[in-house]
């Protein structure tokens, strides 16, 4: 997946990651690390969608803190 995706595509991808996390949480409680990874992916993709919507630069990072910082108004 690349930043060339538009905001709607990033948000759809975030929703898929959230659905996967919720499904794993409810049916596969032994996979906590994988569930947490999917939840992090959801947050990352949603933040990237927001940055694209705001016409801001989208950093090539998985760091949620950096993405949040990029989304804050100057």
Structure tokens at 5: 């995706």
Mutual orientation of helices 32-53 and 7-27 as an angle, nearest 10°? 160
pLDDT band at 74 (very low <50, low <70, confident <90, very high): very low
Model pLDDT for residues 1-50, shown as the tens digit of each residue: 554 789 999 999 999 999 999 999 999 989 999 999 999 999 999 999 99
pLDDT at 5 (0 to 100): 81
pLDDT at 39 (0 to 100): 97
Where along the chain do its domains lie?
Answer: 7-71
pLDDT at 16 (0 to 100): 98
pTM > 0.85: yes
């Amino acid at each position: 997946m690349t930043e060339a995706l538009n905001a709607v595509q990033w948000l759809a991808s975030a929703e898929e990651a959230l659905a996967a996390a919720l499904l794993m949480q409810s049916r596969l409680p032994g996979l906590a690390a994988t569930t947490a990874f999917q939840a992090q992916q959801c947050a990352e993709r949603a933040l990237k969608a927001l940055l694209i919507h705001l016409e801001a630069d989208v950093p090539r990072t998985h760091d949620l803190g950096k993405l949040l910082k990029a989304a804050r108004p100057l």
